[in-house]
Amino acid sequence: MITVSIIVNNELVSAEVEPRTHLADFLREHVRVTGTHLGCEHGVCGSCTVLVNGVPIRSCITLAVACEGLEVRSIEGFDVDSVMESLRAAFSREHALQCGFCTPGMLIAARDIILRLPDADEARIRRELAGNLCRCTGYLGIIKAVHSVVREQAKLKGMVAAGPAPVKRAAAPATVFPPNLDQARQDPIPAAPAGLVRANEAGEPATPSQSKQGWTRFEEKFVIHRPTTEVWEALANFPVIASCLPGAELIEHDQQHVKGRMTVRLGPINAAFSGSAVITRDETTMSGSVRGAGTDDGSKSRTKAVATYRAVANPSGPGTCISLEVEYNLQGPLAQFSRSELAQELGRRLIGEFASNLNGRLQDPHMGALGKPAALNANALIWATLTQRVKRFFSRMAGGREGSH
């Protein structure tokens, strides 16, 4: 198994895959981007066409590991795109689709033609689309739809028939064979895509206006009773961090990648999420981020998460204050639990246990070898959370009675 990190539709995704895994399978099985369709699986029909660094490629014959650190854009990534919006309308108007199986790849290829060949005529469009097969329409509606958008774009831009110079595109992956993975690990981690939480120039964590649809977000702050520089160094010690996080198990790591497992017990469910994450750290602002993904083979649930943190001197006393912001998305049987307010309180209690464990470990530098952590007992945390809620409820009731006298 190999850990691969790819920017899919402006979101950094890391997953553990077999070296032979094709990009199409990575998108459908690990990212749940199912608009990428698999037809011939030999690079002939074009149904699996996606953009890699702006270039159309056949994702069924491109290995996922060959796209390490690259930008992949599937049909789901064109929600806000004027050319694609025009193409969708034209395909509907010209009856350019029937079963729709070839349509995602056809639309991506058509968009590339319009941007690259702004003066393309019907004959050129036919040649360019020869690699995208359709068994339903007879192609006439497709050709008319693409040509109508070519003319529409020319009118909007006020172009003459010759048009401007063709759009320059970044090079696609030169090979579908695995790159040198050791070298890939040494390459800089790509900057966080737009929309993800990151530190701004002043060093303050930037807060999005709202979480992405389907994602849950919460923030927390806690104090570690050690100097800031010591705490910052400890946050880069992944074995120590894993030993302080209930249910976490570190499998392997380097300075920028971690691979591990999180075990959670929830009633009769015993979930073990195996996955990987990409770590970034800014030494000047003492801020960082963790972007990861994991899968539980038992329940078939999948999760993605983004956590950003910053360490600063505690403004109200000695020690270091850590501000933490977490966004996560859970799909599968466990998803219903993850979206509740109770789950957010559970996350806060988990962070509280982590802070307590980290405080203890840093206070005692002579602590013995790190042991394997126990599974996260969500039942105990939930019970403690509910108990706390009941206490707060009766406390408010008592306060209300006193105020009425």
Question: pLDDT tens digits for 140-163?
Answer: 999 999 999 999 998 887 644 444
Please report the pLDDT score of residue 61 as a whole number.
Answer: 93
Q: If pLDDT is split at 50, 70 and 90, which confidence band does 170 have?
A: very low
DSSP 3-state assignment of 316?
coil
Least confident of 64-78, 103-117, 137-151, 249-263: 249-263
Q: If pLDDT is split at 50, 70 and 90, which confidence band does 398 have?
A: low
Please tell me which of 1-10, 106-115, 298-307 the model is most confident about, judged by mean pLDDT: 106-115
How far is the first Cα of the chain from the last one, in angstroms, to the nearest whole number?
68
Q: Is the pLDDT of residue 176 over 70?
A: no
Please report the pLDDT score of residue 306 as a whole number.
Answer: 87
Q: Is the pLDDT of residue 365 over 80?
A: no
DSSP 3-state assignment of 319?
coil
Please report the pLDDT score of residue 121 as a whole number.
Answer: 93
**Angle (nearest 5°) at CA 270 between 359 and 361:** 10
Higher pLDDT, residue 238 or 374: 238
The amino acid at residue 120 is A
Question: What's the CA gap between 295 and 272, in Å, rounded?
Answer: 8
Burial (CB count <10 Å: 0-12, 13-18, 19+), residue 344: middle
Least confident of 184-188, 298-302, 312-316, 383-387: 184-188
Mean pLDDT of 356-369: 71
Distances (CA, A) of 237 to 113, 149, 255, 258, 310: 49, 54, 9, 11, 16
| The pair of three-digit structure tokens given for residue 73, joined into one six-digit string | 């854009």
Question: What's the CA gap between 384 and 222, in Å, rounded?
Answer: 19
CB 219 within 8 A of CB 213: no
- How many other CB atoms sit within 10 Å of the CB of residue 256? 16
Please tell me which of 131-140, 163-172, 192-201 the model is most confident about, judged by mean pLDDT: 131-140
Residues contacting residue 352 through CB under 8 Å, at least 6 positions apart:
222
Please report the pLDDT score of residue 142 as a whole number.
Answer: 96
Question: What's the CA gap between 221 and 315, in Å, rounded?
Answer: 12
Question: pLDDT tens digits for 285-295?
Answer: 999 999 888 88
Least confident of 56-65, 137-146, 191-200, 351-360: 191-200
Computed over every residue of the chain, the mean pLDDT equals 77
Q: If pLDDT is split at 50, 70 and 90, which confidence band does 218 have?
A: confident
| The pair of three-digit structure tokens given for residue 164, joined into one six-digit string | 């401007």
Higher pLDDT, residue 204 or 332: 332
Least confident of 55-64, 359-368, 371-380: 371-380
Greatest alpha-carbon span in the chain: 88
Residues contacting residue 203 through CB under 8 Å, at least 6 positions apart:
284, 285, 287, 310
Please report the pLDDT score of residue 394 as a whole number.
Answer: 60
Q: Is the pLDDT of residue 399 over 80?
A: no
Please report the pLDDT score of residue 141 as a whole number.
Answer: 94
Higher pLDDT, residue 301 or 131: 131
CB 322 within 8 A of CB 314: no
- How many other CB atoms sit within 10 Å of the CB of residue 254? 12
Q: Are strands 301-313 and 287-296 parallel, antiparallel or unpaired?
A: antiparallel
Q: If pLDDT is split at 50, 70 and 90, which confidence band does 20 have?
A: very high
CB 62 within 8 A of CB 52: yes
Please report the pLDDT score of residue 191 as a whole number.
Answer: 36
CA 57 to chain centre: 21
User: Read out DSSP for 20-47?
Assistant: T-BHHHIIIIIS--TTS--SSSSSSS-T
Please report the pLDDT score of residue 359 as a whole number.
Answer: 87
Question: pLDDT tens digits for 252-276?
Answer: 888 888 888 888 765 555 677 888 8
- How many other CB atoms sit within 10 Å of the CB of residue 109? 19
Q: Is the pTM of this model over 0.75?
A: no
* Helix (H) / strand (E) containing 257: strand 257-266
Question: What's the CA gap between 189 and 5, in Å, rounded?
Answer: 9
Q: Is the pLDDT of residue 389 over 60?
A: no
Question: What's the CA gap between 324 and 108, in Å, rounded?
Answer: 39
Beta bridge partners of 263: 272
Least confident of 43-52, 327-336, 349-358: 327-336
Distances (CA, A) of 235 to 188, 228, 243, 350, 354: 20, 11, 12, 17, 12
Please report the pLDDT score of residue 266 as a whole number.
Answer: 58
Question: What's the CA gap between 77 and 75, in Å, rounded?
Answer: 5
Distances (CA, A) of 259 to 14, 242, 248, 249, 270: 10, 11, 11, 9, 20
CA 109 to chain centre: 25
CB 334 within 8 A of CB 268: no
Question: pLDDT tens digits for 325-349?
Answer: 888 877 776 665 555 555 666 677 7
Question: What's the CA gap between 294 and 249, in Å, rounded?
Answer: 13
Question: What's the CA gap between 74 and 136, in Å, rounded?
Answer: 23
Higher pLDDT, residue 373 or 114: 114
Question: What's the CA gap between 257 and 238, in Å, rounded?
Answer: 10
Please report the pLDDT score of residue 69 as a whole number.
Answer: 87
% of the chain surpassing 70 pLDDT: 71
Higher pLDDT, residue 311 or 219: 311
Place of tokens 């302080």: 244
Q: Is the pLDDT of residue 196 over 70?
A: no
